[in-house]
Amino acid sequence: MDRREFCRFIGVCSLTACVGGLTGCARALQWSEAQHTTVVTRTFGGTPSSSASAATTPSAGGTSAPAAPAFPDLAVTTGSDAAANTRLAVEMLGGMGRFVRRGARVVVKPNIVVAREPRYGVTTNPDAVAVVVTMCLEAGAASVTVFDRPTASTLQAYTVSGIKAAVQGAGGTMKVLSDRDFETIAIPQGRLITSWPLLTDIFDADVMINMPCAKTHGLAVLTLSMKSLMGVMGGTRSLMHQDQPQKLVDLNTLIRPQLVILDAFRLLYRNGPTGGGMQDVKPGNTCVAGTSQVSVDAYGATLLGMKPTDVPCVALAAEQGLGVADLSKLAVAKRSA
Amino acid sequence: MADVKVASHTRVRGVHRFRLAFQIAFLLLFFALLTLTVWPLGSVALGAFLGADPLIALNSAASGQWLWPGFIAIGMLIVPLFAGRAFCGYACPTGTIIERTTPSRGPGQLPQAWRARLRTLPVFVLIACAGLLLFGSSLYLFFDPLATLTRVATILLYPLLDRVLRLAGDVAYLAAPLRPGVDAVTAALTGRLIFTRPLVYGLQLGVLGMFTGMLAISWIEPRLWCRDLCPLGALLGLVGRFAIVGRLVDGETCISCGKCHSVCPMDAIPDDFRSTDRSRCQSCYVCADVCPVNAIGVGTRPHAWTYSPTRRGIVIAAGVAALAGFFSFTGLGRREKAPQLVRPPGARTEADVLALCSRCGQCMKVCPTNVIQPAVSAGFEGVFTPQMDYRVGYCEWSCNECGKVCPTGTIRPLSLEVKHRTVIGRAYIDRDRCIPWADYKTCLVCQELCPVPEKAIVINTADVVTPVGTTLRLGRPEVVAERCIGCGVCSNACPVAYRPAIEVFGVREKA
């Protein structure tokens, strides 16, 4: 065997080895939740900021009395400007500084389920999302990332809903979710679902703000903050639809956004959650903010002419001690912007 | 006369060096336009490259469809009178890829007898096209070079890029500091080069095979595909036969060394070296560069030497082509559509689709949900026409791009308002498999995602008795036939494994 022949032999061998190795690597191209079958335990960024702990740290409100739980459970604002409503509601809860500390990484999850223009009331009002981004940045947030996992193509849903332009205009970042952003995470208190591929960003962040919009849903009756959390679920979400109330409660036991802002500027009172006709939308001109998903949803139900107990997942969550749905036991502050 | 020729010699030398610049420019333009062919399109006429293809434009015109790029196509048909098949040598992106990826050498790799036979092919390619055209089949456009390259890029290149970029992002994500950068790039490329769900297409091995075949035969003999098989080249060559201006050899200077013959990449110089096959010459003038005596220049009324088939050959070929056209015309596909052959919104009747579609795959490229797939259920004749495959995607309510990019008018451009009312199919629930109907459990995914404002799927709640005798209160989906437009969101989202319990079937065409 001469030198040339030897080189050729080595070349062919290494080529074969490379191809063989790539054949194995190629399976990595099928990147999906199948890779994340190992269940990871993650703790959610912290418990919802209680009024007591907030009082010890100076809030953006500034000169409020240090001892008393000064903040209401729910702040309800009305007015013809979605952004002003939202800003006032957050201020009534103690200002964004109560939730977002300087340097905090904030994630905001509006409802961007499909590609629909804002006027149809199917997605969260872009002005409301923009003002929340602005307030977070004003409070000193290091980054504000906005995302959802739409059922439509992401680019279209983000663009048509107007949220992409609004968020970028306000200085926030729209994140497009990929399979790599999900991990199968244990839901320790789950009764029906004990683990699910969930978005890791909400666990990495310091603060999560859930920004649902108020609309009906054929199965969940209403899509409010608890149902809208499905937007951080990966995997086959359509499997959530059997025994849905308990599964939603399970999800809500793990993920407890520090701030919940329900955009009820428009109310999609029929044909939700994807609507599409102006005859199904009526003006709501309201914004509801709170720290408990259950309480916000309980109040949200009344905006659409229902009792909190009419919404199965809210009733079940209250029953299992996840939050208070009885509006008579909640301190609700109302103002008009 | 001799003076003119001598003067033109100097001008002609070195022309082929500009050729590479032209080729790269057109190749880049082609891929730039194709890459931009994504939602949202804006107002750029991205289908113009294909619409300006004379073969496609003529086929459309024969079926009564005339789009504005057709005027460019007319211009392209006039060019061969003055510059031969310059399109093939300077502009055609497929030709560029074939030429630059195969060894550059002159003809003569095959025996003389074979080459003589190959020379006769373009005529018969055209006769075959005409036979199919006569009977309303545009199947021959499958071999159009521009449609082919569009198809190859759509089916093979962009899905590959999608996956490679995705994988690169996954790898870069392992390093935490890179994550914001990866997120920014992902956000910028999503919907453009990376898609929410990785792009998939059917028939990709077929497309790969065809393209590799085109390249492979051009390894045997340079540009064998372009010279002898390409139908667009044959059409341009047909006009080139009547060239007014072209390669002219000064017979007195010529020493018959045959160098020009041995370098001509198009095999356009016959054995007498003095005449030119005007149906093949691509005006690259590489012959002028190698000529040791500067005998080759440009002039009017060039000596033409072109293969002309015998009358007998034409009659036989035309007969065979007409029969092939006739039998495709009377095929099963023309009588009944396959039940699940649903065409994109705006598509014309089945007969028109088979007669018009250039099989380029632009609609598949632009479709944001990947639902438009190359048809396999439309029969051999309809292979690669657009078909909705709801296993892969669904027709997005906020999108009407496929009609805008169609270079043939097979898919009409519809406004969103019209598209929202255009019925392309109808969903049927399989009650033996639907979760609430068959399993007595709640589910309403089809209803919640139905994009029609007045939902085409309603949930009717009733007391139902399960097989074991318990009574349940259960909402079960039903389709309201007159509201369903067949977009297939329901079918695509149905959680029933492997085969959805709600499926879209074609609706009868209006006469």
Domain assignment present for B89:
yes
Specify the DSSP class assigned to residue B426. Answer: E
A window 83-142, beta carbon within 8 A of B: 114-116
A65 touches chain B (CB under 8 A): no
Are the beta carbons of A176 and B186 separated by less than 8 Å? yes
In this complex, the residue of A153, A243, A271 whose CB is nearest that of residue B453 is A271
Q: Which domain holds residue B103?
A: 2-148+208-300
Shortest alpha-carbon distance between residue B450 and chain A (Å)? 7
Predicted confidence band of residue A58 (pLDDT cuts 50, 70, 90): very low
B247 bridge partner residues: B298
Total domain count for chain B? 2
B185 touches chain A (CB under 8 A): no
Closest-CA residue to B59 (of B358, B374, B364, B347): B358
Tens-digit pLDDT profile for residues B408-435: 999 999 999 999 999 999 999 999 999 9
Predicted confidence band of residue A63 (pLDDT cuts 50, 70, 90): very low
Tens-digit pLDDT profile for residues B263-280: 888 889 988 888 899 899
Predicted confidence band of residue A48 (pLDDT cuts 50, 70, 90): very low
Shortest alpha-carbon distance between residue B183 and chain A (Å)? 7
Predicted confidence band of residue A24 (pLDDT cuts 50, 70, 90): low
Shortest alpha-carbon distance between residue B187 and chain A (Å)? 5
B377: exposed, middle or buried (C-beta count within 10 Å: 0-12, 13-18, 19+)?
middle
Q: Which of B244, B271, B300 is the last residue of a domain?
A: B300
Domain assignment present for B25:
yes
Q: Which of B300, B316, B334 is the last residue of a domain?
A: B300
Domain assignment present for B50:
yes
Examine the domain organization and report whether B131 and B263 are in the same domain. Answer: yes
pLDDT at A32 (0 to 100): 52
Tell me, what amino acid is at B240? G
Domain assignment present for B15:
yes
Q: How far apart are the first and last CA of chain B?
A: 64
Chain A residues touching residue B178 (CB < 8 angstroms)? none
Q: Tell me the domains of chain A and their CATH numbers.
A: 32-51+71-336 (3.40.50)
Shortest alpha-carbon distance between residue B331 and chain A (Å)? 38
Tens-digit pLDDT profile for residues B303-324: 777 778 889 989 999 999 999 8
Domain assignment present for B233:
yes
Domain assignment present for B387:
no
The span from the CA of A208 to the CA of A261, in Å, is 11
The span from the CA of A42 to the CA of A188, in Å, is 10
| CATH number of the CATH domain containing B456 | 3.30.70.20
Q: Which of B272, B300, B328 is the last residue of a domain?
A: B300
Tell me, what amino acid is at A97? G
Domain assignment present for B139:
yes
More confident residue, A207 or B15: A207
Are the beta carbons of A178 and B443 separated by less than 8 Å? no
DSSP codes joined into one string, A31-49: -SGGGG-S-B----S----
Tens-digit pLDDT profile for residues B66-104: 888 889 999 999 999 998 999 999 999 999 999 999 887
Per-residue pLDDT, averaged over B452-479, amounts to: 95
pLDDT at B2 (0 to 100): 39
* pTM, 2 dp: 0.90
> Mean pLDDT for chain A?
88
B440 touches chain A (CB under 8 A): no
Chain B residues touching residue A279 (CB < 8 angstroms)? 453
Domain assignment present for B287:
yes
Chain A residues touching residue B187 (CB < 8 angstroms)? 173-176
Write the CB contacts of A203 (distance below 8 Å, at least 6 apart in sequence).
A42, A43, A44, A45, A185
Tell me, what amino acid is at B141? L
Examine the domain organization and report whether B427 and B296 are in the same domain. Answer: no
Tens-digit pLDDT profile for residues B179-219: 999 999 999 999 999 998 889 999 999 999 999 999 999 88
Examine the domain organization and report whether B294 and B438 are in the same domain. Answer: no
Please, what sign has the CA dihedral across residues B131, B135, B136, B138? negative
Are the beta carbons of A176 and B454 separated by less than 8 Å? no
- The complex's ipTM works out to 0.88
